[in-house]
Every structure is written in structure tokens, then in C-alpha cells.
Chains A and B, each alone.
Chain A
Amino acid sequence: MGRFLKACRDLRDGSPHRQALAMALFGVALCAVPLFANDYWVRLLVFIFVNIALASSWNVIGGVTGYPSFGHSVFFGLGAYTAAIVMVRYELPMAMAMVAGGVVAAAFSLLFLPVFRQKGFYFALSTLAALLAVETLVHKWEFTRGFKSWDMGWTVPSPLSLDASYVLFVGLLCSTVISVIYLLRSKTGFALHALHKDEVLASSIGIPTARYKAIAFAASAVWPGVIGAAFAPFMTYISTESMFDVTITLNMILISIFGGIGTVLGPILGGIVLSVIDQIAWGNFLEYHRLIYGLLIVLIITYKPGGIVSWLWDLEQRLNRTAETPTPRGPVTANESGRHATIALRTEGGTGHAR
């Protein structure tokens, strides 16, 4: 166990190429699952993959950059509706629908630029307000509402079989995570870390914060757009209530926090663990599963705000008794003033120097 965790830690500290490769291999292995699992598990896994990918995208803007977007499901919904319009009204192939979904989402994200001047929760509320506003508009505008003018919702037949959809979503998940891996290790990624810690300071040393925020937000919006576009034919029947649901965003946030906010592995672990807990609760504690859900949220934040990932790294340190340069205890700390808490992210190598 200790060896395994140490290997994981080396992977985390190592080059992004290896991380990407690991993810790709994991994806390839996952593709073998439909060969011996029944339809229920295949479909369930697709939902889990979607959740993880969405959480990973949210994490870029919410966890790494520190701007918690509460309306993030707007990009997912826009992607889904774009696919519906492209595939049903214009009868274009699904691949084009997915590209269109990503483009529409990214374009829409740029409209948020003025909102970035806000402090944390004002930003959160603005994005939530935007979600609710867009949902109302999409529901009202005849062009987007449905195929016929009195329709409410779309019927998007899927050209793919269940197994083919599964492979597609594995691919989307891997693409999302791998792009997040590379983004976080790029110049943009370091800029985001810097501006999360102290935006005023970052901008005073010459980092163009506005530009990087825009890039981060667009990057965090593209994948939900593409995934939403792929999801519409998967569900076949879509409506604004199901695709723009605020609980989709809440799930993204929850998974990221539960797994470990600001980390690459966090959303993945969070998604897996929460789904497992969910399945168990549904099957055995039907009446209490929401209560369990709420309790979990409260407990993890009260006692382990760094999420599962931080718990794992602590475990790894204890098992291997590595006495390296002391990294901050837990990834969530307060800086000196105590007023403005920050999420200290693990920089690579444990030596803490930025490149």
C-alpha cells in the first residue's frame, strides 16, 4: 500500500507526460469493461464519467483559480441544446454537434469577463444568476425551445449504440483530464496558481490576470459544452429542467471538494467515491440517502477539507515516513492575516519553488 501510494506521489510530482499517459492507459483499460459488464453498469459508468469530467473542468476555474462558478451547468446545458439544434433542426452529424457545443460554450464564457471583477461569492452569485437567466431564455425563445414552435424540449435520437457511447465518453473523460493536466503545468497554470494566492500581488508583478482568467474560464467551459452535446443524444429526451439543473453544478462542486479541490486527482477520486456511496445508499438506505449525502458533505468539510486526496497524501506520508521539507499541513490553510483564507496548492517536487 505504501509503495503504491509512493508511486502515485511520484507520478503526481513527475512530468505531465507521464500523468497523461497514465490517464490514457486507464482510459484504454476502461474500454474493456463493456465486454463483461451488463448494460446497467455501462450506463452507470457513463454517468460517473460525465460527472467526473464536469467536476474536473469546474475545478480549473473554481479550485485552481479560486473563482467558484455556481452557474457552471449553463455550459453543459448550452452544449446539450446546441447538439439538439444542430442534429435535429439542421440534421448535421453528431461530431459537428460536439464541436459546436464546445464553441458555443466557450464563446458564452467570454461574456462573463466583466463579472470577473467581483469577489468570490459575488462572482458565485453572478454565475448562478446567469444560469437561471439563460435557462429562462432558452425555455422561452422559440428557436431553442423545441423543434416545433409549441414544443418544450427536444428529442435527439442517438446514432451510437450504448457501448459506442460508452467508449466516446471514456474518450471525453480522458481528453478533459489530460487537457487539465497540461493546462495546470503550463505557463497559464502557474499564472492561475499565482493569482489565486494573491491576485493583487500577481498583477503587480506583471501577470496579465484578466487574460489568464478569461483563458481559464473558457477552458473550463469548453469541455462541459462538448460533453453536454454528447449527452443529449445519450439521454434522447432533453428539457431545460434536466439540462440546466442547478444540482449539476452543485455536484461538480461537491465532487471537487470531496475529492480534493484544486488537484487533478481530486475530481476523479471524488467522483468515484461519491458514486459508490450513492449506489450503496440507494440500494440499502433508500429513505435516508439524501440525509447521508448531506452528512457526508458536512463531515468532510468540517474534518478534512482537503478532501480524499489530502487524506491519501497524509496516509502516504505516514506510511513512508518521508521527512521532506514540511509541506503545509493539509491543502487548505489561512495565510498570515487570517482574514483571507487561501487554498494552498501542492506545487510539484515538494520543494515549493515555482518554475
Chain B
Amino acid sequence: MSKEVKTAGAAAVSRRTLMKSAVAGAGVIGASGLCPGILRRAWAADDVVHIGASLPLTGPYEKVSKIYKDGYDFWTKVSGGKMTVAGQPREVKWTIYDDENNASRTAQLTEKLISSDRVDLIAGSYGTDTVLAQGAIAGKHKRVTIQGGAASERVDEEIGGHTTFTLIASSKRYPAFAMDYLAKRSPTPKRVALITMDDPVYREMAEGVKEKVKEHGMQLVFEDVLPMKVQDLRPTALKLRGAGEIDILYNTGWDIICVKLVEEMSALGVNPKAFIGGHLTTSPTVKQTLGKKLTDVYGVTFWLPQFKYTDPHFKNPAEFAEAFKQAYGYEPTYHAALSYALPMVYEAALRDADPNNPFDQAALRDRLQKVKLETVWGPISFDKRGRIERGGAPVIQWQGPGPDAKVIFPSELAESEGAYPKRPWA
């Protein structure tokens, strides 16, 4: 009998203990959520602008996010660590997290930036899924973000204009100028081949190419759609070889795809009259790995130091590039110019803000919609869906002994004539 009592007692003890610990446990978790919140609220001082961002700082996009981060850092340096808000200069504070290019992480981190860290402004992430995830959370809190890391139209459709403003042009526009330029060469190109990656951004670029093919009366003789995970470009090169004469080959893929394509084409003897390597031919890896093989290759790019834009801090992008290189030891790519300009867009929108509530998101949204400024990144203004207004990406060709990227179109920015057709692979 005593045994029963004991077991009953023990059971009661254990049940009680467990209930206590369950409540305690939940309480600890909740309390630890409360404390930093309290501390943080006291800290949100009046003379600070707190900007929050998340980037894929580890993983395959590490090198790109480093450039973004350095761009933000560079702007901070150049503006003396201060942003003018409602007429008064404020100290700038950055909080940047690593989202590992993971949508769930990004959602978590955005929530953290908004609810825990209480940032005043949000800078976008990199990649379609992550930017959308960030937009979802920001949208729930009725806040705005500015991003330069996702070009897909899906961003405009889902979160553009009311939540997100996009500093990078729509991916459909990327091929526009290149196709226009090539359409005027002689002999007139007719046969076009296209390499498309199976992902919204690249499919949209391919759409852009196809529209131009139709517009200029050309013919799409071959298209290869490749999964994002593709490793070997040789099957594609082999198919290209079998497709006959190719006048224009457009690669929508990123820098590594361009590198692999060139390697395989030169190995198998595929010689299109023009090869457009895509929008990332200016990535340092491309030149390092391809070297002379880059000669006569075209690329599209939204930014090069040679462009003639003006900026509040720099005479032209070349000066910006030189200063950036001095500070960080490498040549900036377009990502640096973009991320450098991002805080400036906020500043332009906040200069005349209401001093009593400068970071009111609804007012900020309205002013961002109307913003117009000229920066190293070029002229910035947004359309109804929060997308930067750009006609197309200027065309470059790799020329000379380097070879080096020379702008060949449009004529306002051109520094050299383009060569057509392409000479055989080096």
C-alpha cells in the first residue's frame, strides 16, 4: 500500500514539477524576448538612422554580397557616416545579417530587423525568393524596402510599388540594346540561338530576346533551357554545333555559365558571328578564367566606370571606381554602384520629411514614388510598380590586348566601334 502511495506521490510530484517547468520554460523564452525589446526601445535615439539589411554572406553568393556590403560601407564613409533626415544630419547605423540565401531565414531576419532591432529603414536582400520573403514580412508591417538584388518581374507583381522599390532594371529589358545594336550590323544577322536558365529572372531575359527577334524580323533557330543546377555545358555546345550557322548567340546565364559556354564552344569549334555573354561578363572571374578568349565577346551591363553619370559626391563613375578601389582593394562592379546609391535614394526621400515623424512609412512611400536623382548608378526614378526606369542595358564588347570592356552602344555612352563578326576563339 505504501508503494501505491509512493508512486502516486511520485507521479504527483513529477506532474507538478513538469507543469512548473513547462510554464517556467515558456516564461523564460517569452521574457528573453521582452528584455532586449525594452532595452532596444530605450536605445532608439533621436539622432540615429538605423538601416537594416540581410545578405547571403555565406554560401555561393558570398562574393557578390561582399560587394553589396562594401558598397553600403563606402557610402557611409563618403557621406561622413551621416544622413540628412528632415533637414537634420543623423548618425547612420547599419545592421546586416547573413540570410544564407534562404527564404525562411530571410523572413526571420526581416522580422528581427523590424520588431527586435527596430530599424528605421530596410535595404533588400539578394535573389528572388529571399527578396519576396523579405517583402512579405515588410508588407505585413506596412513598411517599405528598397532592393537591388532581384530583377524578376515577380517582384513588381507581388510587392512592387506598395512595399518594394527596385533599383535594378527589369530583367526583360536587359537584352534590348544589344539586340537593337546587332540588328544593324552587316551582313544583317538572321539566325539567333538562345541559352535560357530555368528560373524566372532568366526566362524573362529570354522573353526580352524573343521580343526583339520578332521585332527585327530575325529567326530563333535554337533554344536550350537549362536547369539551374547544370554543371556541364558540353551537351549544349554540341547541340549548338549541330544547329548550323548561328549569327547571334545570347546567353542569359550568369558569369560561370558564360565561362563554361566559352570553354566548350572553343573546344568544340562552335563559332557564332556574335556571342553575347550575358549581364555578368564584367565579373572578375570571367576575365581571370577566360583571358584572351573574351576577345570580341559582347556583354550587357548596367554600369561601368566609363559611363558618364554625375553624382553628388563624385564627378563620374570613374572617380567613384578609383576611390572604391583605394578603399577596398578591388575594382567595383555594378553591385557596388547600386548599393552605394541605395542609401542615397532614402536620403533623397527623407530630406524633407516631417521632423516629428520622419520615418512614417506611408509618407516615405509617397516620396520614394516621386524621387528623382542622379547618382553614380545613373538616373533614378521609379515607375508605378516601384521599378527603376531604364530603357535597356548598355552594350560592351571586349576588345584590345587585355581584352578590356569597351562601351559600344548606345552612342551617348559609346567609346568604341564594335567589331562584327567575331573572330575565331583565341
Contacts and interface: CB of A to CB of B under 8 A. Distances in A.
Interface of A: 3-4, 7-8, 10-11, 14, 18, 21-22, 25-26, 29-30, 32-33, 35-41, 43-45, 47, 136, 139, 150-153, 155, 162, 235-237, 239, 241-242, 245, 247, 282, 286-287, 289-290
B97 A282 contact: yes
Given A247-B102, A289-B98, 17 more contacts: A4-B17, A4-B21, A14-B11, A22-B19, A25-B19, A30-B29, A38-B33, A38-B115, A39-B111, A43-B111, A47-B104, A139-B198, A236-B136, A237-B135, A239-B128, A241-B129, A286-B97
A339 B26 CA distance: 44
B133 A47 contact: no
A290 B62 CA distance: 13
Contacts of B228: 241
A44 B103 contact: no
Contacts of A35: 30
A29 B25 contact: yes
Q: Which 7 A-B pairs have the closest CB atoms?
A: A37-B33, A41-B33, A29-B26, A40-B115, A237-B132, A39-B115, A7-B14
Contacts of A245: 102
B21 A10 contact: no
Given A7-B14, A14-B11, A235 B133 contact: yes
A60 to B, nearest CB: 23
Contacts of A8: 14, 18
B178 interface: no
Contact of B30 (A41, A152, A242, A290): A41
Contacts of A241: 103, 129, 228
**Most A Cβ at <10 Å: residue of B26, B27, B135, B140:** B26
Nearest to A152: B200
A150 B203 contact: yes
A7 B115 contact: no
**Most A Cβ at <10 Å: residue of B32, B107, B114, B141:** B107
Contacts of A151: 154, 200
Contact of A40 (B30, B103, B116): B116
A237 B158 contact: yes
A162 B140 contact: yes
Contacts of B200: 151-153
A237 B103 contact: yes
Nearest to B131: A237
Contacts of A3: 17
The dominant DSSP class at the B interface is helix
A58 B133 CA distance: 26
Interface string B174-199: 00000000000000000000000011
Contacts of B31: 36
Contact of B11 (A18, A33, A153, A282): A18
A273 to B, nearest CB: 13
A11 B57 CA distance: 44
B58 interface: yes
Contacts of A290: 58
Contacts of A150: 203
A18 B21 contact: no
Contact of A37 (B21, B30, B112, B129): B30
A139 B27 CA distance: 43
A153 B25 contact: no
Contact of B102 (A45, A242, A282, A287): A242
Contacts of A7: 13-14, 17-18
B405 to A, nearest CB: 32
Nearest to A155: B158
A32 B30 contact: yes
Contacts of B21: 4
Nearest to A43: B111
Contacts of B141: 39
B410 to A, nearest CB: 30
Given A26-B26, A237-B136, A40 B11 contact: no
A16 B403 CA distance: 73
A40 B17 contact: no
B14 A33 contact: no
B67 to A, nearest CB: 16
Contacts of A236: 132-133, 136
Interface string B83-116: 0000000000000011000111001100110111
A242 B104 contact: yes
B229 to A, nearest CB: 9
14 contacts: A10-B14, A14-B14, A18-B14, A22-B15, A29-B23, A37-B37, A41-B115, A43-B107, A43-B111, A136-B227, A237-B135, A239-B129, A282-B98, A287-B57
Contacts of B238: none
A235 B140 CA distance: 11
Given A10-B10, A237-B129, A242 B103 contact: yes
Given A7-B17, A36-B34, A286-B98, A26 B115 contact: no
Contacts of B327: none
B198 A22 contact: no
A80 to B, nearest CB: 11
B22 interface: yes
Nearest to B107: A235
Contacts of B34: 36-38
Contacts of B132: 236-237
B26 A153 contact: no
Contacts of A40: 33, 108, 111-112, 114-116
Contacts of B158: 155, 237
**Most A Cβ at <10 Å: residue of B33, B128, B228:** B33
Given A10-B10, A139-B198, A282-B98, A18 B33 contact: no
